A = this chain, B = another copy of it.
Amino acid sequence: MKIGIIGAGQLGRMLALAGYPLGLRFVFVDQSAEAPGGQVGTIITGAFDDTAALAALADSVDVVTFDVENVPESAVREIAKRRPFLPPVEALAVAQDRLSEKTIFTSLGIPTPRFAPVSSREELDQAIATIGLPAVLKTRRLGYDGRGQAFLRTSADVAPAWERFGSYPLILEQLIDFDREVSLIGVRRPSGETCCYPLAENVHVDGILSHTRAPLAAPALQDTAERYVMRLMQHLDYAGVLTVEFFAEGDRLLANEMAPRVHNSGHWTIEGTVCSQFENHVRAILDLPLGETRAVGHAGMVNFLGELPALAQVLATPGAHFHSYGKTPRPLRKLGHCTVVRQDPAARDAGLDKLLALAGRTPAA
C-alpha cells in the first residue's frame, strides 16, 4: 500500500518513518524537493494548489492524507474524487477557519472562549462591547504558531490591530486567563473504533510550543476532554488523528483550536506510549486496528527552534530520544525535538530541564 501525503514537513516525515515498518510506502507533494520528507520518500514538487501535482500524487497512491492545513479545499475536493482522502475534507475545511471551528465547538456543546466574527471596524467595536477586553483579534485563516494575532489589552490596542489585520476576515476572541494549556489527541478509523491519548500539558513561548509534559494526571479533565473529542470525531465522521487544544481553568476546559492531523504536542507519544500518534494516524486512515495509546512512563518533549544543539550533547542526556527533521536552520524554525521518558515525574522534570537548557531556554515553568 502507498500513502500520499500533501506536505513533506517533519510531520509527514515522521508519518513515513512510522509507516515503513508496517510495509507501507510514501509519496509526498511539497513545494520544496529539500523538504524533510524527501529523505525518506519520493517528493512530487508542486505548490499545495498545483492541481497537476496533486493529481499525480493521487494517481500514484492508495490513500491521500496531509501534514499541513493550508491546502485549498477546492484542490483536495478534486483529489477526494479520485482517491480516499482522510481525514475528511469537511474536517480540514472546519479547521482552516477559526470561526467555523468555534461555531462547531459551540454547536456540539463544547465550551470555547466567547467569540464574534469581525469583518468591519464597526463589527470590531461591537464585538469588543460584547466580549470585553482583554481579547485577541485573530485572522480567521492561515494563522499558526502565534502568527496573525493581536492582543487587545486596552482600547489603545484596537486601532493598531485593526490597521494591521483589518483587510482580512477576522474573529475576536475572549482572552482566557488559563491555569494551563492542554491538548488531547484522539484517533478514529472509518469503521468506528476510537481511542484517545493521555492529556498533554503544553507550554508556549511567544505563541510557539516550547515543551510538553505527559501524561497529565487529571482524571476529571481527561474524561471531559475525551467526551469533547469523541463528540467532534463522531460529528465529523472522522478518520485519522485529531488534536484539540484546550485552556484549562480548574476542572473546566475551553476548546481553543483543533488540528485534523498529528500534532507537535503529540511527539512525546513516539517513545512515551505503546503506539505513537504517527503510527495510529496511518493505521486509522487505512482502517486498520488502532494501537494502544497507553503511556509507558512520564514523558517530557522539548522543541528545538532555530538551531539544534550538538548531537553528542543531546545523546549524552540519559533517556533522551532525539529527532532531527533534516532541515536547514532558520530563526525560530522547528528543526527537531527531543523526548525524555522516565519512570517518575521528578526524574522526567529533571530530564526536561536539561533538554530546555540545551535548547537555550530557561528551565521549565
Contacts and interface: CB of A to CB of B under 8 A. Distances in A.
Interface of A: 13, 17, 20-23, 25, 39-40, 274-275, 283, 288-289, 291-292, 296-297, 308, 311-312, 315-316, 318-319, 321-326, 336, 341
B23 A308 contact: yes
Chain copies in the assembly?
Answer: 2
Contact of A289 (B13, B25, B39, B312): B312
Given A21-B324, A22-B324, A288-B312, 7 more contacts: A20-B326, A22-B315, A40-B40, A274-B341, A288-B311, A288-B315, A289-B316
A283 B315 contact: yes
Contacts of A321: 21, 275
Nearest to A327: B23
A336 B288 contact: no
Given A292-B318, A296-B296, A318-B292, A324 B39 contact: no
A1 to B, nearest CB: 8
Nearest to A14: B21
The 8 A-B residue pairs with the shortest CB-CB distance, nearest first, are A23-B324, A289-B316, A21-B323, A289-B315, A288-B315, A288-B312, A40-B40, A23-B326
Contacts of A274: 319, 341
Contacts of A292: 318-319
Contacts of A325: 23
A157 to B, nearest CB: 42
